[in-house]
Amino acid sequence: MRTLIKIRIYVIFIFFAACTLTSLSQEDNKEPAIQSPGSESPHSLFAGLMYGSNMVYMGSDVSQNKPYYSGMLIYGYKENLFLSASASHLTVFDKLISFSSFAGNYSHTFSSWFDISAGLTGFIVNGSLKDTLFSNFIYGYVSAGFDWKILYTTVSAGGVFSSAASPYLNIKNSRYFETPSFFGGKAYFSFDPYVNIMFGRLTKTTTSDGTTTGVSSPFKPSGRPGQQSPGAEVTTYLGMMEADFGLPVTLNVGNFAFEIEPGYVLPAYKTSSDNLSSPEGFTLLVSLLYRMF
């Protein structure tokens, strides 16, 4: 899975009908969208800003269908190792910084059709929001990418490590395209539509009022303190959580990349409880990234 750490910022296309698309292998799509400013140094540094209409993460509606904002710094070494730090504000809460994250990602390409990557991310939530948002946790994953020329498939296995561990599995199919350059060869559009299916641990709660299903720890249902009714029967199981679809489109100009990514989240489980939510519907992500060196 190409994560944000791999630096692909997307923008909604303006000239799609007028541009001739050039199909690239996924091997050509491994490098950051922003080109090096001419230096042969193995080091790179990025700064980015992001707006999202709704933060859906690991099957959980983290921002409760409200917008959020993020800022980040990303360091890269030889385009294989990336380290990042970010801070996010969820508009549903009053606190300026709802949570922060620190991440590391390493990738290696073995051939034109096979690559691997691994990453580790730590999330630190604002202390006043631990009872309603989520507990501090670490997420780690390993993934393998297969380029079939027509499609690029990524299989990622990971886990959330907190008070209770939760395994996850993602299967993603994408197809990268790029337009011919324009503005004297300084700009181009890139497109990377995808379909992703996520499997993870779900929690089923059965009471006298019925049965509800929701995400498991460390996430809280609908951003509210978890409350368990007396006599409730709680079971956890592994199952399909959601399918999500997206069309990331990036305008790359020199050291800048600007993206808009429209997407749609389709949950695989339903709930009738006011205290649980299965995120569903349209999402929009807008990002701006600048490569400082």
Q: What is the dihedral of CA 194, 197, 201, 207, to 10 degrees?
A: 110
Give me the chain's average pLDDT, please: 80
Alpha-carbon gap, residue 41 to 104, rounded angstroms? 20
More confident residue, 104 or 20: 104
The answer on pLDDT for 101 being more than 90 is: yes
Alpha-carbon gap, residue 132 to 154, rounded angstroms? 33
Which among 223, 290, 266 is positioned nearest to 59, based on CA atoms? 266
| pTM of the entire predicted model | 0.79
Each residue's pLDDT tens digit, 259-277: 999 999 998 876 654 444 5
Give pLDDT, residue 116.
96
Give pLDDT, residue 221.
55
We report the CATH number of the domain holding residue 88 as 2.40.160.40
Give pLDDT, residue 203.
78
Alpha-carbon gap, residue 63 to 51, rounded angstroms? 12
Give pLDDT, residue 278.
61
pLDDT band at 204 (very low <50, low <70, confident <90, very high): confident
- Lowest mean pLDDT across 45-49, 57-61, 146-150, 258-262: 57-61
Give pLDDT, residue 25.
38
Which among 223, 227, 239 is positioned nearest to 279, based on CA atoms? 223
42-to-5, 48, 73, 157 alpha-carbon distances in Å = 16, 20, 17, 29
pLDDT band at 234 (very low <50, low <70, confident <90, very high): confident
The answer on pLDDT for 20 being more than 80 is: no
Q: 176: domain range?
A: 4-291
With contact defined as beta carbons under 8 Å apart, do 172 and 199 qualify?
no
Q: How many domains does the chain have?
A: 1
Arithmetic mean of pLDDT, 188-216: 81
